[in-house]
Amino acid sequence: MSELKGIALAPVTDWLEQHLASSEPPYRFELIAAGGSNLTYRMTDARGKVFVLRRPPVRGLVATAHDMSREWKIMDALHRHTEIPVPATLAYCQDTEITGAEFYVMDFIDGLILRDHKSANALNAGDALVATESLIDVQVAFHTLDIDAVGLGDLSKRDDYLQRQLKRWRKQAEAVKSRDLPLLERLHEQLESAAPAANRPAGLAHGDYRFDNCVLGKDNRVAAVLDWELCTLGDPVVDFCWSLQYWAEPNEKLTFLQSPPTRNPVFPDRATVARLYADKSGYNLNEMDYYFAFGWWKMACIVEGVYARLKKGASGGMKTAPVEQVGAMVEAYLQESQRFLAP
């Protein structure tokens, strides 16, 4: 078969023969997730057994976002020492000579991934409530995990998560700057000065936790949490509120995702999800307006990066809206951030 981008078939096969005893060559690879994230391949062996291989993008590496050893460390610790559902970690390759980068292999978890509105059509209200409660239960579990006991206490700094995030995303926006956005800069200053103090112990902050980074099993509960590449230690409530902002409701026009699965009316509303998290975690959400203001601003910074790349003619293989529409979306996100910051 022809080789896929990022997979040097012969050396990868040789390495897998030596390090993945549960598999049998030859292997077939299919790229199932690309774009700016780590590359994810569906790997099928001679007996039809399916695995997943993950490696960084072939080009455009960002060390903090594409550190394979870090992502492996998190998932391996969760798999070995907790009940948090992650795919079993099977083999890790440090030798970048094999296929141009480090990579790892994990179990393939079959199930439903709610990527868009249409993917939720098979669910009724009861199914959706089960999925919602399970999503929250799992997030509370990793937010309240004893990070030292499972060997993840040295993953990052624990304090000043919000300030670290503000600094990181302002820096990202400046790095791709292609136009003047005075509101972005002004909001950054306001968010910095108004930032509430965290009075909670640091937990695992997934950084991108939502339905389309989870696999639901036949019982509609979370069977696996995927894509831990942005995970760090930080304030659980900041992480939860970022997840909650993906929770679009049926009548909302301005959303984080183009086709949010939770826009399907079978799902409970955002306020119900917030109450579930508060009840299950014991954390208060009194500062939620501030965290929503931060979230809209952060998303504006992220989408401004997409806008800058599109202006240069690069899409990274992702389907996006027209350039002008993406630029207008950034401005709309900033306006929404300003609305939540208003007294």
> Per-10-residue mean pLDDT for the chain, 343 residues long?
81 97 95 74 97 84 63 97 98 96 96 95 97 98 97 93 94 90 97 91 96 97 95 96 97 94 96 98 96 98 90 62 89 97 80
pLDDT at res. 63: 44
Q: Where in the chain is the domain with CATH 3.30.200.20?
A: 9-107
H or E stretch covering 76 = helix 68-81
Task: Give first-to-last CA distance, the chain, whole Å.
Answer: 61
pLDDT at res. 13: 97
Q: Which residues of 68-85 are buried (b: 16+ CB within 10 A; e: fewer)?
A: bebbbbbbbbbbeebebb
pLDDT at res. 62: 44
Measured distance CA(336)–CA(248) in Å, rounded: 14
**Amino acid identity at 52:** V
CATH of domain 118-341: 3.90.1200.10
pLDDT at res. 319: 58
Compute CA distances 203 → 105, 157, 236, 239, 306, whole Å.
26, 11, 6, 9, 29
R_g of the chain, CA atoms, integer Å: 20
**Amino acid identity at 186:** R
Check: CB of residue 42 under 8 Å from CB of residue 108. Answer: yes
Measured distance CA(176)–CA(170) in Å, rounded: 10
Give the contacts of 193 (CB within 8 A, at least 6 positions apart): none
User: What phi-psi label fits residue 318: left (phi over 0), alpha (psi between -120 and 50 degrees) or beta?
Assistant: beta
pLDDT at res. 59: 62
CATH class of the 9-107 domain in this structure: alpha beta
Compute CA distances 297 → 12, 136, 161, 306, whole Å.
42, 24, 16, 15
pTM of the model: 0.92
